[in-house]
Amino acid sequence: MSGTSPTREEIHDELERSRTDFHALVATATPADLRRSSSGTRWTNGQLLFHMFFGYLIVRRLLPLARLMGRLPEPVSRTFARTLEVGTRPFHIINYQSDRGAARMFHGPRLLRWFDRTLDVLQARLETEPAAGLARGMHMPVSWDPYFRDWMSLAEIYHYGTQHYDHHRQQLTIGRSSRGDP
């Protein structure tokens, strides 16, 4: 990435890289792989795959909010983020439990279709985003995610999905034996 804010082209390329990788993961994961525990989380690999996708859904929901907050006085965004901080514990519980349940419903080809539609929407919106719009942003609830910073531009929010994906990608144990051997 160049500097602190990724370029439109870098974001597009990283979304395509994630798409290719995600398809390969879902295609090669055996039922035993999906049931196996991931490394460093309480999720199974199947649940973690859904959670990796969920990061991009979060981006879709954050973009309109960031566009709005970017047009309002700065204290509005800061107050909103601080208000969300109060709900950190419930957020983490809901985040964990909802991904466990969603992974039962969304897996295999169904998960891939949803993943592709989500990335298609993000890329289409990215292409039409004015340069000035990519520089606008909002304050974030930093305790919700290690990749949230106090203030993030729209470009950084687009990029967040892949940061989240790459972080959790390292925690998958797909293709490893149950003893953790490669």
Residues 6+ apart with CB under 8 A from 62: 157, 160
Beta bridge partners of 153: 137
- Whole-number Å distance between alpha carbons of 176 and 26: 15
pLDDT for position 58: 94
d(CA 156, CA 10): 11
Distances (CA, A) of 102 to 47, 53, 55, 81, 120: 8, 11, 13, 26, 21
DSSP SS3 for 137: strand
Per domain, the residue ranges of the chain are 29-169
pLDDT above 90 (res 160): yes
**pLDDT single digits (tens) 43-60:** 999 999 999 999 999 999
Mapping DSSP to helix (H, G, I), strand (E, B) and coil, where does residue 147 land? coil
**pLDDT tens digits, residue range 107-144?**
899 999 999 999 999 999 999 999 999 999 999 999 99
By the 8 A CB rule, do 173 and 33 touch?
A: yes
Tokens 């930093």: give the residue.
Answer: 142
Rounded to whole angstroms, how far apart are CA atoms 122 and 37? 30
Cα 8 from Cα 144, distance rounded (Å): 25
Kindly report the pTM of this predicted structure: 0.90
